Amino acid sequence: MADQIQSPEQLAGVLNQLVERKVSDIYVCAGKTIHVRANGEVCPTSIIAPDENALVAFLNQAGETVIKGSITRMEIYPEGSVDGALTCHKKRYRFNFYRVLDPEALRQTARIALRPLNDHIPTPDEIQLDARTVQTVEAFKQGLVLVCGKTGQGKSTTLAALLQHRADTFREHIITLEQPVEYILKHGRSDISQREVGISVNTFAFGLRAALRQNPDTILVGEIRDHETADIALRASESGHVVFGTLHTSNAAQSIERFVNLFPSAEQPSVWNVLSTSLKAILCQILVKGREGGRVAAREILLTNDSVASYIKQRDLQGVRRAIESGHNDFGMQNWQKAAEILHRQGQIDGEVKKEIIALGT
């Protein structure tokens, strides 16, 4: 019979053990079997999570966000969940605390999804970011750079690698707005301010507006998900700042369309025009199963040139796709087809995974 955790201290110890097994995510539901994700697949452990009171106590001891009141009362959290970060055994985690229906007890109970945060910031080379892409992106002195992909596809790691490389290369003031802060950036040759939404600033939009009064050179917006944030980010990218942001999209053309659709219809014609000059790059990313185990990053890369800018101004997304396809040799662009072919030729993925990657471009 599986062992049940009885206290917050025991849960902290179990998390530490699971992290040593190199899991990417940990799923904890009060009184239920703890599950983990490893190499992209979810599997059960032999450990039973503690009751909901112990879960809340654990978060309040280790977390940077206080979980208040009764977890069974929906009005405590109007959005139905709480995002935050916590530290135990000197290891940081990102978490989302939420409620679910217990099918056996027929009542609401607590659940936490945790992601261990990596202490090591990889170099661009370590995550197989093409050197030409890195050189192009770090040369930008203003403009918008989007790193896109679904949840859990390594966007934060790619951004951390790019920003740390930038901090080590230039003398800049870099401001990040994150929820939560995942990687602790080292100052290098730059001055870095990392702000956490929900703790040091209320919203991405509020933090971004404040950042423009703090004389930054480079700004990271952890997630561009509403009109206000998109509008300020776009204006910041026009006015002499490099703005990095993320979207939950699968390919470059879709990312452009999603960004524009964050704006009211009446504003969209002008947004297309501004994007044609302000958008500098889009990196779309997915982590796929490697031939030798583990996961491998595949990326679609758009680097704006005259052709791309013209297609964006004309709102021609098919033209953007064609420009990515034809821009590999001269500009270092790469569509999903090319990304899949390169990884397959290198022996990093098998034929089935190659097909999965190519399908992202359709």
- Per residue in 236-281, pLDDT (tens digit) is 999 999 999 999 999 999 999 999 999 999 999 999 999 999 999 9
pLDDT over 70 at 128, yes or no: yes
pLDDT over 50 at 75, yes or no: no
Percent helix, strand, coil in the chain (nearest 5)? Answer: 35, 30, 35
Task: Tell which of 60, 88, 116 closes a domain.
Answer: 116
| Residue 116 structure tokens | 């261990």
Q: Which of 36-45, 81-90, 128-137, 281-290 has the lowest mean pLDDT?
A: 81-90
Give the DSSP H/E element, type plus range, for residue 310. helix 306-313
Task: Tell which of 116, 146, 162 closes a domain.
Answer: 116
pLDDT over 90 at 222, yes or no: yes
Are the CB atoms for 151 and 250 separated by under 8 Å?
Answer: no
Under the banding of pLDDT at 50, 70 and 90, the label for residue 69 is very low
Q: Which residue range forms the structural domain that includes residue 79?
A: 3-116
pLDDT over 60 at 72, yes or no: no
Backbone angles phi, psi at 218, to 5 degrees: -130, 135
Q: Which residue would you say has higher pLDDT here, 342 or 64?
A: 342
Please tell me the predicted confidence (pLDDT) of residue 71.
Answer: 41
pLDDT over 60 at 299, yes or no: yes
Helix/strand/coil for 28: strand
Task: Please check whether residues 263 and 150 belong to one and the same domain.
Answer: yes
Query: CA 33, CA 24: separation in Å to the nearest integer?
Result: 17
Classify the C-alpha dihedral 275-276-277-278 as positive or negative. Answer: positive
What mean pLDDT is reported for the chain? 92
* Closest to 217 measured CA to CA, from 188, 190, 251: 190
DSSP state for residue 360 in the 8-state scheme: T
Under the banding of pLDDT at 50, 70 and 90, the label for residue 328 is confident
| Residue 160 structure tokens | 């951390």
| Residue 270 structure tokens | 């002008």
Region 74-87 average pLDDT: 66
Which residue reads 């654990």 in tokens? 58
Under the banding of pLDDT at 50, 70 and 90, the label for residue 103 is confident
Q: Which of 64-78, 139-153, 268-282 has the lowest mean pLDDT?
A: 64-78
DSSP state for residue 129 in the 8-state scheme: -
Instruction: Tell how strand 41-48 and strand 3-4 pair up.
Output: parallel
Total number of domains in the chain: 2
Task: Please check whether residues 55 and 177 belong to one and the same domain.
Answer: no
Note whether residue 122 is domain-resident.
no
Type of residue found at 267: E
Q: Tell me the DSSP string of 208-240.
A: HHHHTTS--SEEEES---SHHHHHHHHHHHHTT
CATH code at position 91: 3.30.450.90
Please tell me the predicted confidence (pLDDT) of residue 99.
Answer: 87
pLDDT over 60 at 234, yes or no: yes
Note whether residue 238 is domain-resident.
yes
DSSP state for residue 344 in the 8-state scheme: H
Please tell me the predicted confidence (pLDDT) of residue 79.
Answer: 61
Helix/strand/coil for 50: coil
Region 4-11 average pLDDT: 91
Task: Please check whether residues 208 and 83 belong to one and the same domain.
Answer: no
Where do the DSSP E strands lie in 77-149? Answer: 81-88, 91-102, 107-116, 143-148
Task: Please check whether residues 28 and 136 belong to one and the same domain.
Answer: no
Task: Please check whether residues 202 and 277 belong to one and the same domain.
Answer: yes
Residue 78 pairs with which residues in a beta bridge? none
Region 174-190 average pLDDT: 94
Note whether residue 126 is domain-resident.
no
Task: Please check whether residues 298 and 260 belong to one and the same domain.
Answer: yes
CA-based end-to-end distance of the chain: 48
On the 0-12 / 13-18 / 19+ scale of CB atoms within 10 A, 197 is buried
CATH code at position 251: 3.40.50.300
Under the banding of pLDDT at 50, 70 and 90, the label for residue 66 is low
Please tell me the predicted confidence (pLDDT) of residue 3.
Answer: 78
| Residue 86 structure tokens | 């916590």
Task: Please check whether residues 141 and 67 belong to one and the same domain.
Answer: no
Please tell me the predicted confidence (pLDDT) of residue 102.
Answer: 83
Long-range CB pairs of 267-270, under 8 A, 24+ apart, other chains included: none
Please tell me the predicted confidence (pLDDT) of residue 67.
Answer: 53
On the 0-12 / 13-18 / 19+ scale of CB atoms within 10 A, 310 is middle
Task: Please check whether residues 54 and 152 belong to one and the same domain.
Answer: no
Task: Please check whether residues 95 and 186 belong to one and the same domain.
Answer: no
DSSP state for residue 62 in the 8-state scheme: H
Under the banding of pLDDT at 50, 70 and 90, the label for residue 64 is low
Task: Please check whether residues 293 and 331 belong to one and the same domain.
Answer: yes
CA-derived radius of gyration, the chain: 21
Region 343-358 average pLDDT: 97
% of residues, the chain, pLDDT over 70: 95
pLDDT over 70 at 70, yes or no: no
